[in-house]
Amino acid sequence: MSKLKVAFFDFACCEGCQLQVYNLEEEIIDLLELVEPVEWREAMSDQSDDYDVAIIEGSITRIEDEQRLKAIREKAQVLIALGACATTGGVNNLKNNFDMQDVKECVYGKDANMPHLDTYPTKAVNEVVKVDYMIPGCPINIKEFSYIVRCLALGKEPKIPDYAVCVECKMKENVCRFEYGEICLGPITRAGCDAKCPSSGMWCFGCRGFVDNPNVNAAKDVMAEYGKTHDDLRGKMLLFGSKQEFE
């Protein structure tokens, strides 16, 4: 069987999702039996235009990124959006709560209008090009990444969960964050992370994006019972950027 030719590309992000691939440790060697990385700037010096699968990390925040991404899409048979920044915009979405000029001035002061500092509101990859598979999470769950790579190598359609983090949280037998009077986004957030945060005593802040049909109205309705307001909920939901879901 010939190996899948894979290229990694990064846009605005922390590169933590690529780092997860390193975090496969010994399994990297197994991974390399299935795929042949032809471009992976963070790991190797080669560059290539000949790939089957393009893995895109990061959000799109500039016109030039958009052009680069479109060129990648043209060459790739399969395009995967890797991580929260690529699948939903991730934390980069927080920028969109402000006016862009204000954002630039806040960081670069009087130099804000230098051309190389230009920026526009954050876009997820699928707002620019067609995405074949999404691997959500901030960072990605490396087990899910591995599973998806193996599915592609097997010719099988990978399936990511469309149920809430609560499912995995319950399987871990965690004490529910609501019992501590905290707002946890678990009931509306897409599972697949093994409920990492609640398992470490922290509420879920929705880094994997929401399930296909999140009951946001229910969430609003329930807040008062925990002594919280809609604004508290809204703040949480905005963290990993899904304004539209709240309204």
Partner 1 sequence: MCKCDSNKDIYLPLPATLGKVQPMTNLESFFSCQLDSGKELGHMPGQFVEVSIPGIGEAPISVSSSPTRKGSFEMVIRKVGNVSQSLHGLNAGDKIFIRGPFGTSFPVDDAMKGKDIIFVCGGIGIVPVRSAIQYVLDNRDDYGRVIILFGAKTPSDRLFVEELEKWREDKNVTLLETVDHRDESWSGPEGVITTLLPLVKIDKDNTVVVICGPPIMYKFVIINLLEAKLKEDQIYLSLERNMKCGVGKCGHCQINNIYVCQDGPVFKFSDIKDIEEAL
Partner 2 sequence: MTVKKLEKAAFDKWVSACITSQRVFGVQAKEDRFVFAPLANAADLRLDYDVTILPPKKYFQPPRETLLKFDRNEGFESVFDNQPFVLFGVHPYDMVAISQTDKLFSQEHCDTHYVNRREKATIVACDVQNASKDVFAGCMGTATVNDGFDILITKIDNDYLVDIRSEKGQALAETIKDAEDADDISLKLRKLVWADNAELLQKHKLNVRPDVLPKLLGRSYEHPVWKEKSERCYSCGSCNLVCPTCYCFDVRDDVEWNLQKGERYRVWDGCLLAEFAVVAGKHNFRANRADRYRHRYYRKGKYVPEKIGEVACVGCGRCITACTANIANPVEVYNKLVDEGK
Partner 3 sequence: MTKKFNISVNHVTRVEGHGNIRLRASDGKVEHVEWQVPEAPRFFEAMVRGRSFEDIQTIVSRICGICSVTHSLAAIKGIEDAMGIKVSKQTDKLRILCHYGEQVESHSLHVGYLVAPDLLGQKSVIPLIESHPDVVKTVIRLHRLGNIWMEIIGGRMTHPITLKPGGFTAIPSEQKLLELKKAMEDAIPDVKILIEVLLSLVDKFPAFDRDTEYIALNHPDYYTFYHGDIASTDTDEKVPVHEFERVANEYVVPQSTAKWCKWHRDSYAVGALARFNQNAEKLMPMAAETAKQFGLTKGACNPYLNNVAQVVECVQVVEHGLQLIDELLTTGLKPEPVKVEPRAGEGVGCVEAPRGILFHRYEFDEKGLCTKANICIPTGQNHANIQKDFEALAPQIIDRPQDEIRLLLEMLVRSYDPCISCSTHFLDVEFV
DSSP codes joined into one string, 145-195: HHHHHHHHHHT-------SBHHHHHHHTTPPPGGGGT----GGGBB--S-S
Select the binding partner of residue 23 from partner 2, partner 1, ligand SF4, none (C-beta < 5 to 8 A, by kind).
none
> Nearest CA to 165 among 227, 214, 124?
214
- Work out whether 207 is an interface residue with ligand SF4 (CB under 6 A): yes
Binding mask 23-52 for partner 2 (x = CB under 8 A): ----x--xx-xx------------------
d(C-alpha 180, C-alpha 177), whole Å: 5
Phi/psi for 15 (5° steps) reads: 60, 15
Q: Are 122 and 97 in contact (CB under 8 A)?
A: no
Helix (H) or strand (E) holding 9: strand 4-10
Smallest separation, CB 241 to partner 3 (Å): 10
Residues 139-168 that bind ligand SF4 (CB under 6 A): 165-166
Residue 226 vs residues 9, 188, 215, 221, 230: alpha-carbon distances, Å = 43, 17, 17, 10, 11
DSSP bridge pairs for 134:
81
Smallest separation, CB 23 to partner 3 (Å): 5
- Work out whether 154 is an interface residue with partner 1 (CB under 8 A): yes
Q: Is 57 helix (H, G, I), strand (E, B) or coil?
A: strand
Amino acid at the residue 117: L
Select the binding partner of residue 34 from ligand SF4, partner 3, partner 2, none (C-beta < 5 to 8 A, by kind).
partner 2
Sign of the four-CA dihedral 180, 186, 192, 197: negative
Quote the radius of gyration of the chain (alpha carbons, Å).
Answer: 19
Helix (H) or strand (E) holding 66: helix 63-75
Q: Are 65 and 12 in contact (CB under 8 A)?
A: yes
- Work out whether 168 is an interface residue with partner 3 (CB under 8 A): no
DSSP bridge pairs for 78:
53
Interface segment toward partner 1; rule CB under 8 A; list 29-37, 60-68, 154-162, 204-212: 154-162
- Work out whether 169 is an interface residue with ligand SF4 (CB under 6 A): yes
Residues 209-228 that bind partner 2 (CB under 8 A): 211-215, 217-219, 221-222, 225
Near partner 1 by CB under 8 A: residue from 26, 29, 110, 155: 155
**Chain contacts with ligand SF4 (rule: CB under 6 A):** 137, 165-166, 169-170, 174, 176-178, 184, 186-187, 189, 193, 195-198, 204-208
In the complex, the residues that contact partner 3 under the rule CB under 8 A are 10-20, 22-23, 25-26, 28-29, 32, 37, 40-47, 58, 61-62, 65, 90-92, 94-95, 97-98, 102-104, 106-111, 114, 116-117, 119, 138-139, 196-197, 199-202, 205, 235, 239
**Residues interacting with partner 2, by CB under 8 A?**
27, 30-31, 33-34, 146-147, 150, 153-154, 162-164, 166-167, 170-171, 173-176, 178-179, 184, 186-188, 211-215, 217-219, 221-222, 225
